[in-house]
Structure 1
Amino acid sequence: MATPQRVSSFEPSVWDDFFVQYEPEPFQISEECMKVKADKLKDDVCMLFKTFNNGTVVDKMILLDALQRLGIDHLFQEQINTAIKGIYESESNCCSLYEAALRFRLLREHGHWVSPGEDGSFNKNVTKEPMGLLCLYNAAYLSIHGESELDEAISFARHHLESMGNSLNYPLSEQVKRNLEIPLPRISKRLDVPYYIAEYKHEQECNPLVLELAKLEFNLLQRLHQSELKAYCRWANDLYEDVGLSYSRHRMVECYFWSYNVYYEQHYGGARIILAKLIELVCLLDDTFDIHATLEEGRKLNEAIQRWDESAIPILPEYLKKYYIRLMDTYRELEDELKQDHKYRIVYCRKAVIYLSILLYYQQEAEWFHNSYTPSFEDHVKCSVISAATPFLCIGLLVGMGEEATKEAFEWALGCTDAVKSCGEVTRFMDDMAAFKQGKVKMDVASTIDSYINQHHVTSEVAIAVMDNMVEDAWRTINQTRFDRRALLPLVNRVAGLTKNMTWLFHDKIDRYTFSRGNKDKIEQQFIEPIPL
């Protein structure tokens, strides 16, 4: 007897063909003039770095923090690396909680190990210093395993920041509000940039040159992303029309947005589009196993992809043949776009599907569903961390990178350890908590929460608290990986960026990919609304 197909109840796209047809309003000055002006401002900011020798360490840290939060640090990477090295090697003599916490955060973000209490400034005797408390709160989220004092610092700072309530002035009041929702080390940098650009002019240390450059750079990049998004949506529309998988989620704009939050810089356009296409393809695969394919159809699809050859097309059900052909065609197209000495990267991308056994895990979950079986929590985690697909995407995000994406980097990502595994854990547990909050329906497969409740005979509240703690542990592992894999730091930070996407995507236990209206305002902010000059 054939196993029943699950029926899709996904909401339609909130965008339809909006970005295919969208033509932005012209700027008040030409883009060419904006570029000329931005180049001049870059030179001016470079001169600021040259004055570092005459400035204090605190001045350096404040400038670096502003460049990062304004989203223009990528323009000065060499200068920033030199400055960070100087800050690390200089004697730590911070005279305030704010300075100590800022130093701690900047150095840990850049892969330099510093102890939470190396200069004695992480004491908790300052409760009327909101800037210092907020900086402490954010810095403490870069903790690793065993740093209980930083967990205490988070609770301490949160308590006092919340107690200050409406007594804080703008812009600090808005920054506290945002960071109490999602701390700075967990939010995709790009999502925070528009807010911080608006707030920076009110900062005591605001540099008008830096602010003007940030506005120009955001708007110029926005035009680039609008152009890319138009072309990408045409590609995705063609894909949807060709493969005809009408049961799947049509989330082309969200797939690009997902990739954009990992790679927003101009020179990573190729990496951005490759990752977006891989997200699109894997989401179609996920929906096929989750809601449509019978067990036998899933086995056939798994077998065909393991073989990765046109000769496997006849074994597939009719409705999956075009998807299989487009999958292989897309991989060939991506390989053709790579430089000759980078073409091996697509081999790793294919290995990721096979070696990580993503399809086997999709199939395993389908069998659990069709047999009404709830696995042990340990078995479920082992399977569903991979089926979350982000370990696969951690390999996909390397494909379009520059020379820093070495074979060593691909082997590390393929091994699915430390930060890569943790990215999958954050995705899985946050996804399952969001789905649980949404409400289980009879066609849902058992989640990790169901498995934990079933195995340990606890309430859903207890199980969710355990998942929250496991998300925190995964983040500690990602933070630790910055030190353990320092030679791969740029790549670890991109994996961290992918994980930050998950933090926003499932924030407050809402699935903003499936229920994409929750993402609409952020997408408008990034791709439609320019920053006033």
Structure 2
Amino acid sequence: MASMNCNAVYRMAPAFEASPWGDFFTNHTLDSLQISHEKMTERVNKLKVEVSGLFGACKSVMEKLNLVDTLQHLGIDHHFEDTIATALSSIHNTEFRSSSLHEVALRFRILRQHGFWVSADVFSKFRNEDGSFVNDIANDPKDLLSLYNAANLMTHNEEPLEEALLFARHHLELMKCNLKSPLAEQVGRALKISLPKTIKREEAISYIPEYNVHDEMYNAAIMELAKVEFNRLQCVHQKELKAISMWWKDLSADIKLDYARDHVVECYFWSYSCLYEEEYARSRLVLTKLLMLTSLLDDTYDEHATLEECRVLSKVIERWDENDVSLLPEYLKKYCLNVISTFKEFDKELEPHEKYRSAYIRKAFQNISKCYLQEAEWSHCDYIPSLEDHVNVSVTTAGGELVAVGLLFGMGDVATKEIFEWAIRGSDTVKACGKVSRFMDDLADFKRGRNKMDVATTVECYIKENNVSSEVAQAKILSLVDDAWKTLNQELLKRRAPLQIVRQITNFARSMMFLYHDKRDGYTSSEYVIETQKNHFVRSFPV
């Protein structure tokens, strides 16, 4: 590396677009939100009792599975976690002999999503002796959709599910233009991002209008609960967005890093995608601030600073001493002081028995800074590393570890010291999330065409290392996304950490699937997702 001709001057990056949100949430009035929230909470509590009673009224395994599935689609299953866990444990231990592919696939998917092992052998009865699927399946879109979503929960070395996935996708693609609503929309969504890989609240926004009186599982109390609960939580999120926007307005006015992305609402969307429930407000706000500070750090290393400034910045962050800030160039001093100050504010959010968490969140920030520096070294020297070397560094810069620790930081007692160690010492869950993030981001970067100051993508590393076309390289990187998802599915079943935590950290990978779907960069280029985010944060459901 020392012999390389590294660029030591400022790199003039193209200007990033301003956030389309402007001062929308800063100026948002909250006068009526508290009253509305209280009224809706009262109504939700009444409806929860009514809906909870439906479990006892179920007369068969399939009625229970359909009820759980409906609550998950509508994004209200968090109110019935204990009841659902008890029901699924019983279902898992009960013999199941259905001849319906839809029913077998639904049971398979829901049980695996909740950490219960179900063998792929359950689909053998729908195959001929030569291993091909029976003809009738290819003509039933409901069966195919259920099989497709179930197969997306495959783990490593489950070839029958690989075959099922390809079979179902092929036939769904053939028939998708001839389907009626709402099945047509459900198939369309699944072919873009399968149900197990999509953002939960995003599915709820689509499914609420599709759940109507013509649905065989329709229940008026469930429908009202879904709408009222969505609107109630939206009030919570709007209040948080106002607070985080005001924090950012003050911070950005102080540090004045005009070359960096101004995307605090987008950072909030990331943390909200991981956990949207009311009780996780502390995690959402801490993680949003952490992501925004990290985004500024990323843009400094990647888009603006000289190599020597990158090295000094990394050293200052590693030492974490306010006295060292004087070593930095003027434009970075206030940024670093604000970082240290914000982390002190994080610490104040903790209870006395939680104070140990501060060391972990600081370590995660320092780790990502070190890896940003390595990428800057490669970039300034026009060096393309091996794919393995790139991944060893860039999985950290993709944010899996940072997000995992940020989520845990604000959680309650379920986030123990042992869980923090699990997260920061390279658990398979966290690594796999980082890989999904890295590879989806790099596919978008490669499609867009990176700036000359950007580090080479994993796509370019694979092209150089294997002397292949860009099409072959992109297919390989996409296959690595699939491999990472197999690991995440496997981690659900291994229970190395509480199921709740594994699922919430995995939600980060789901957010990356959404933001970077179809090789777009939905974080940097907000126009791709602005209407979707309005559905989440502005538009409510009429009740």
| Counterpart amino acid of residue 165 in structure 2 | I
1:339 equivalent in alignment to 2:351: yes
Correspondent of 2:85 among 58, 81, 87 = 81
Bigger shift: residues 434-443 or 263-272: 434-443
Matches of 1:414 and 1:46, distance apart in 2 = 38
Letter in 2 for 1:178: R
> Are residues 115 and 283 of structure 1, via their aligned partners in 2, closer, same or farther at CA, if it must alter by over 3 Å?
same
Find out whether 1:491 has 2:497 as its counterpart: no
- Contact persistence 1:101–1:122 (CA under 8 A): no
CA distance in structure 2 between the partners assigned to 1:65 and 1:152 by the alignment: 24
Identify the residue that residue 311 of structure 1 maps to in structure 2.
323
Does the Cα contact within 8 Å between 1:134 and 1:157 map onto a contact in 2?
yes
TM-superposed CA distance for 1:144, in Å, is 0.4
**Structure 1 stretches of 4+ moved >6 Å:** 24-27
1:165 equivalent in alignment to 2:171: no
The structure 2 residue matched to 1:46, chosen from 39, 45, 52, is 52
1:405 to 391, 405, 415: 415
The CA distance in 2 between the partners of 1:99 and 1:415, in whole Å, is 40
Asked if 1:478 is matched to 2:478, the reply is no
Match of 1:454 in 2: 464
- Name the CA distance, whole Å, in 2 between partners of 1:353 and 1:231: 23
Contact (CA 8 Å) 1:385, 1:425: kept in 2 or not?
A: yes
Alpha carbons 2:21, 2:265 under 8 Å: kept: yes
Tell me, yes or no, if the aligned pair for 1:426 and 1:502 is still in contact at 8 Å: yes
Q: What are the residue-to-residue correspondences of 1:342-353 with 2, within 5 Å?
A: 342-353=354-365
Contact 1:96–1:121 (Cα < 8 Å) also in 2: no
CA–CA distance in structure 2, aligned partners of residues 24 and 148 of structure 1? 53
DSSP-derived class of the 1:245 partner: coil
Q: Secondary structure at 1:397's aligned position in 2?
A: helix
In the other structure, the counterpart of 1:191 is 202
Identical-residue share of aligned pairs (%): 48
Aligned twin of 1:278: 290
Corresponding residue for 2:540? 530
The 5 Å alignment of 1:245-264 reads: 245-264=257-276
In the other structure, the counterpart of 1:109 is 113
Matched, 1:520 2:530: yes
| Contact 2:302/2:453, CA 8 A, preserved across alignment | no
- 1:486 to partner: Cα distance: 4.7
CA–CA separation in structure 2 for the residues paired with 1:218 and 1:321: 42
TM-score, normalisation: structure 1: 0.96
Residues 93, 119 of structure 1: 8 Å contact kept: no
Q: Distance in 2 between matches of 1:105 and 1:486?
A: 20
Tell me the equivalent position of 2:130: none
- Residue 166 of structure 1 deviates from its aligned partner by 3.2
Distance 1:24 1:509, change over 3 A: farther
Matched residues in 1 for 2:286 and 2:426: separation?
Answer: 20
Tell me whether 464-473 or 296-305 shows the greater mean CA deviation.
296-305
- Is 1:96–2:100 an aligned residue pair? yes
Selected match of 1:14 from 15, 20, 25: 20
Identify unmatched segments of 5+ residues in structure 2. 1-6, 128-132
Letter in 2 for 1:253: V
Is 1:69 matched up with 2:79? no
Following superposition, the deviation at residue 32 of structure 1 comes to 4.0
Code of the aligned partner of 1:230: K
Q: In the alignment, does 2:211 pair up with 1:229?
A: no
Q: CA offset at residue 417 of structure 1?
A: 2.8
2:22 counterpart letter in structure 1: D
1:289 to 301, 317, 321: 301
Alignment partners' CA distance in 1, 2:139 and 2:37: 46
Shift of 1:162: 1.9
Return closer, same or farther for 1:140/1:277 CA change in 2, 3 Å cut-off. same
**What secondary structure sits across from 2:26 in the alignment?**
helix
Aligned to 2:4: none
2:385 and 2:376 map into 1 onto residues whose CA distance is 12
Provide the rounded CA distance (Å) in 2 between the counterparts of 1:36 and 1:368. Answer: 57
The amino acid of 1:511's aligned partner reads D
Q: How far did residue 457 of structure 1 move? A: 0.7
What do the CA deviations read for 1:340-399 (whole angstroms, capped 9, x no partner)?
A: 111211211112233xx3222211111111111111121111111112122221111111
Secondary structure of 2:410's partner?
coil
Match of 1:379 among 354, 375, 389: 389
* Aligned-residue offset at 1:151: 1.2
Q: List per-residue Cα deviations over 1:106-164 (Å, max 9, x = no partner).
A: 11111111101237445432222221110110010100000111111111111221222
Number of aligned residues: 528
Q: d(CA) in 2 for partners of 1:100 and 1:4?
A: 59
Alignment equivalent of 2:442, drawn from 424, 432, 442: 432
Q: Cα RMSD over matched residues?
A: 1.7
Deviation at 1:180, TM superposition (A): 0.7
SS in 2 for 1:21: coil
Aligned residue type for 2:273: N
Q: Which amino acid aligns with 1:472?
A: D
**Partners of 1:8 and 1:248 within 8 A in 2:** no
Say whether residues 1:207 and 2:234 are aligned partners: no
Preserved CA contact (<8 Å) 1:137 1:157: yes
Q: Secondary structure of 2:170's partner?
A: helix
Q: Distance in 2 between matches of 1:530 and 1:121?
A: 45
Amino acid aligned to 2:379? F
CA 1:192–1:338: 2 relative to 1, 3 Å: same
Deviates more, 1:207-216 or 1:434-443: 434-443
Q: Please give the secondary structure, in 2, of the residue aligned with 1:71.
A: coil
Q: How far is the alpha carbon of 1:31 from its aligned partner?
A: 4.6
Alignment of 1:116-155 (within 5 A): 116-118=120-122, 120-123=124-127, 124-125=133-134, 126-155=137-166
Q: In structure 2, the residue corresponding to 1:118 is in which secondary structure?
A: helix
Deviates more, 1:87-96 or 1:55-64: 87-96
**1:113 is paired with a residue of what secondary structure?**
coil
Q: Which shows bigger deviation, 500-509 or 379-388?
A: 379-388
CA-CA distance at 1:30 after TM superposition? 5.0
* In structure 2, C-alpha distance between the alignment counterparts of 1:504 and 1:408, rounded to whole Å: 31
Distance in 1 (alpha carbons) for counterparts of 2:54 and 2:528: 40
Instruction: State the partner residue of 1:368.
Output: 378
Q: Distance in 2 between matches of 1:209 and 1:106?
A: 22
